[in-house]
Chains A and B, each alone.
Chain A
Amino acid sequence: MEQVAIYAYQIGVSFSIFILISLGLAVIFGMMRVINLAQGEFLMLGAYACVLATQAGLSLWLSMFVAAAVVGLFGIVVERVIIRFLYGRIVDTLLATWGLSLFLVGGITTLFGPQSESVVNPLGNVTVGDIALSQYSLAMIAIAIALLIGTYCLWRFTRFGLIVRGTMQNPDMARGLGVNTDRVFMLTFGFGAALTGFAGAVLVPITGAAPPMGVFFIAKAFITVISGGHLPLIGTVSASAIFGAIDGFVAFVSSSVVGEMSVLFVAIILLRLLPMGITGHLRRGL
């Protein structure tokens, strides 16, 4: 029974990390088809914003929202300055955002130095039987699920969500119906960046904040969204579930590196079997 609980806990934590790092990308890449290689650096910016906000005296929970706002605004600036010239030129977007990623890593290292910053974990442990589980990790699982449901509801039930989905599906038609698509693209990118920034802040108590941290997440985020296929939310959730289960299990019985390598291995096999991704055969959905 305890064994089951431990595995469930490990897999849950893994799953929530996959969701957190790839949800923003699911919006930016899954919906907008913008390959944003600076995604990992958006996470890093969120982490740094959170560290600075807590150092200024805010509580960790408030700092997460500050991080989301800061990175969201930064995302809007990036969209205006770089991305909007590159819609439809998918390879160029990828290269330009890679340049942005190098620039951000270099810039943050210059500003804050190469050392890692950390935040005190505000929660203790909870014991189940005779094993201690970190309460923060449990909170992280809850936050990941809440973000997921929030994003789903935003796209599914609000007028803004409807306009965004319509614009992504057929920008010309949306423009013909009087939608300011330019602004919709800008706001959607900003929303994706904000989600990423929030995720970065959520991860801080576990990972800390350091300039090269983005690199650790970017690979996982992209294989999750790509394996998910063309329905960004459902795809990301199902891919996160599969990869989270594999990663959580293998990392627990072996080491975290073996966990990651097995995820990559499964992802490549999965793409060979389902080249369109997990949701490739589903016609409708989000």
Chain B
Amino acid sequence: MAGRPLGLGPAASPPKWWWWLFVVLLGAGLLAMPSLVDISVQLDVSIMLILALLALSMSFLWGYVGILSFGQTAFFGLGGYTYAVLALNLGETTGSMLAALVLPMLFAAVLGYFMIYGRISDIYLSVMTLVVTLILEKGIRATSGDQFVIGTVRLNGQNGIPSVPSLQIPWGGGAELFIDGVFYLAAVLLILVYVGLRLLLLTHFGRVLVSIRENERRTELLGYDSRRYKLAAFVIAGAIAGLSGALYAVWGNFVAPEMFNLSQAAQVIIWVIVGGKSTLIGPIAGTALIQYLTTWLGTQGVGQVTLVLGVVLMVFVLVFNQGLLPTVGLILAGLRNRMRAGTGR
């Protein structure tokens, strides 16, 4: 057991009772929150929850399948734009939300097919996904002219699309979600995705994914077509990132090319690295922590937030390679072992 962080065993083992307790408590805490805190805190926490979904999509791919996809922001932005364009065109939001899941999935399937079936090595895949999101950003930025219209919506280039409608409650006669509604939705979806991914990793499919991370060639020799599994995981992650992007559009009533850009992509990496990619809960915590830090730095008048984020990233890679939660878990495990050794004597 030495070296295994306390409470953060491999996700492929079935969760213990206290994990379910933790999920229930987390859920209850989140659902009770809007009645306890004021609107500005609700807004801040909602965006943390929404971005945590994006972090989850990356840590699922990176921590469990071993694919480091920088370009999760490509699906994030695509989801946001899909929702914005369709919701503004149709005036109907449930279908737009679904489309904002499907389109990033299709895009992930096509892109993933070329990269994964081309068997380009993992590191090339990372760079290619990064390039894709940068090119998408450039493409969107170049659409400022009048001729770039989808349906009745101008894409607006640099300026993004304003006044994206909020989500309507289906069968609710056009009633829209307000700030607390978006909060509840984000909280429920985050917990669903978190639990869903955790359980997915227990299935046969999930075990094959983890074994691909451990040793792709051996998995193939055991008769699994690793490309199919990797592509499926890539598409799932694309859907989660797309969901996150659509929620982002709902939250801010706004989409902009910044959703695709390098600093957005960098932030996702930082959340996952700081939280610890070997867990699913770590990136959620990392997102909350870094979002809080960024907001706090903003209010402190430190001019360059990127400068600080850059230093954080370098320090974590060089010193705390495991990420925050696993490092804490390792320390706790060490303490526990020492205490056990003490009482055993």
Chain A residues within 8 Å of B, Cβ to Cβ: 35, 82, 85-86, 90-92, 94-96, 98-107, 109-110, 215, 218-219, 222-223, 226, 255, 257, 260-261, 264, 267-269, 271-273, 275
Contacts and interface: CB of A to CB of B under 8 A. Distances in A.
Contacts of A110: 303-304, 307
A264 B114 contact: no
Contact of A260 (B130, B135, B310, B315): B135
Most chain B CB within 10 A, of A86, A92, A101, A219, is at: A219
Given A106-B304, A226-B128, 19 more contacts: A90-B123, A92-B317, A98-B269, A98-B310, A99-B311, A102-B306, A102-B307, A102-B310, A103-B311, A104-B310, A105-B307, A215-B261, A223-B131, A226-B124, A261-B135, A268-B114, A268-B115, A269-B114, A275-B119
Interface string B307-322: 1111111110110010
B139 interface: yes
Contacts of B86: none
Interface residues of B, number: 44
Q: In this complex, which of B68, B123, B309 has the most chain A Cβ atoms within 10 angstroms of its Cβ?
A: B123
B310 A271 contact: no
Interface string B101-132: 00000000001001101111001101110111
11 contacts: A92-B321, A95-B273, A96-B318, A98-B266, A99-B313, A99-B315, A99-B317, A106-B308, A106-B309, A109-B303, A226-B124
B262 interface: yes
A250 to B, nearest CB: 13
B314 A99 contact: yes
A264 B314 contact: no
A interface majority secondary structure: helix
B138 A260 contact: yes
Interface in B226-279: 261-263, 266, 269, 273
A272 B126 CA distance: 15
B264 to A, nearest CB: 12
Given A95-B273, A260-B135, A85 B318 contact: yes
Contacts of A98: 266, 269, 310, 313
B200 interface: no
B115 A106 contact: no
A257 B114 contact: no
Contacts of B111: 268
5 closest Cβ contacts across the A-B interface?
Answer: A106-B307, A99-B313, A102-B310, A103-B310, A99-B314
A35 B266 contact: no
A84 B304 CA distance: 27
B123 A99 contact: no
Contacts of A269: 114
Contacts of B314: 82, 96, 99-100, 103
Contacts of A255: 142
A263 to B, nearest CB: 9
A64 B171 CA distance: 67
Nearest to B263: A102
B134 to A, nearest CB: 5
Contacts of B312: 99
Contact of A95 (B118, B138, B269): B269
Contact of B131 (A85, A90, A101, A219): A219
A178 B145 CA distance: 63
A183 B30 CA distance: 55
A264 B318 CA distance: 32
